[in-house]
Structures are given as structure tokens and as C-alpha cells.
């Protein structure tokens, strides 16, 4: 994993919000944690971005605008899913296989740094080693964007 930020691609079956781009990166930290960085660029006024006053159902953050990480030990079918909403809420799942055997693993809350600026939004998240599987990791970075018309667009490095 490198610190290079990679452009995420909108799923071909979804209409991407006009003028919006998504990029993300993941870097393993010296203490075994994981630093995630997401960037939404462009005119975000057409998106629903929950504010700190908005309370969403934490186990359904993926149904709203959220940034996600899927993390597995290299070669393992079990994985952890982390969802991060722009309002500061987050949730984690642990699956024994693809969408099976879900349990929330005990883990410390991530450190988060959210910045909104003229170019868009940047979210930095640091996951502690205790929140991650042991050993080398496979990481998938994705985003779900909900626009004001109620349409979702799904973003990933590949689909």
C-alpha cells in the first residue's frame, strides 16, 4: 500500500453527480494501524452531506453519503467493513465471508479529521492496529454518494 491517492470510478450503472470526483488512499502506519485519506472534489452542493446535527442509523451509513474501507488479511475471505459519514458517525462490521456472519468486532474508535474547503471535502481516518486483522492486508476503498434527488452513486477503484 502506498500513500498515493487513487481516483475512484463511478459504477457504470449509476449517474455520477456532475463535476464531482472521488479519490482515496491507504497507508499502513509504523505501529500496524492504517491511515485512510478520502477526497471529494468539485461542486458538492448536489449531494446530501449529513452534518453533525444529523443522526443516521449507524448500521446503515452505507445507505447515505459515506466513505468506506474493506479490509482483510491477505488471502482470507473474512473481512471488516468500515463506514465513515461526513457528520462524524462511523460503524464497523466483521464478516466471515462475503456479506455472511456479521458481527461488530471490538475495536477502538478511529481518529478522524474532516476538512471542508473551497475544493470540496477531505476525510482522514486512522484505524488502530487493534481494529484490523493481523498480518499483511488487502484494502478496498469505496464511496457511496447520495444526491439531492435521492440517487446513489457507488465509487471504487474498479467494479
Judged against a pLDDT cut of 60, whether residue 149 lies above it is answered with yes
**Residue 97 CB coordination number (10 Å):** 10
pTM of the model: 0.91
Dist. CA 83–CA 65, nearest whole Å: 10
* Residues in Cβ contact with 117 at an 8 Å cutoff, skipping those fewer than 6 apart: none
Nearest C-alpha neighbor of 122 from the set 2, 19, 25 = 25
Q: What is the model's pLDDT at position 104?
A: 67
pLDDT tens, 118-131?
Answer: 899 999 999 999 99
Amino acid at each position: 500500500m502506498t500513500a498515493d491517492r487513487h481516483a475512484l470510478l463511478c459504477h457504470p450503472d449509476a449517474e455520477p453527480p456532475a463535476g464531482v470526483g472521488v479519490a482515496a488512499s491507504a497507508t499502513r502506519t509504523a505501529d500496524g494501524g492504517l491511515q485512510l485519506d478520502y477526497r471529494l472534489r468539485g461542486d458538492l452542493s448536489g449531494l446530501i452531506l449529513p452534518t453533525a446535527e444529523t443522526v443516521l442509523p449507524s448500521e446503515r451509513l452505507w445507505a447515505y453519503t459515506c466513505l468506506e474501507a474493506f479490509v482483510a488479511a491477505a488471502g482470507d475471505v473474512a473481512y471488516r467493513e468500515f463506514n465513515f459519514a461526513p457528520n462524524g458517525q462511523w460503524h464497523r462490521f466483521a464478516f466471515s465471508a462475503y456479506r455472511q456472519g456479521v458481527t461488530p468486532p471490538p475495536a477502538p474508535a478511529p481518529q478522524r479529521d474532516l476538512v471542508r474547503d473551497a475544493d470540496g471535502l477531505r476525510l482522514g481516518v486512522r484505524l488502530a492496529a487493534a481494529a484490523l486483522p493481523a498480518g499483511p492486508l488487502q484494502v478496498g476503498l469505496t464511496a457511496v454518494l447520495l444526491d439531492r434527488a435521492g440517487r446513489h452513486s457507488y465509487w471504487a477503484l474498479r467494479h
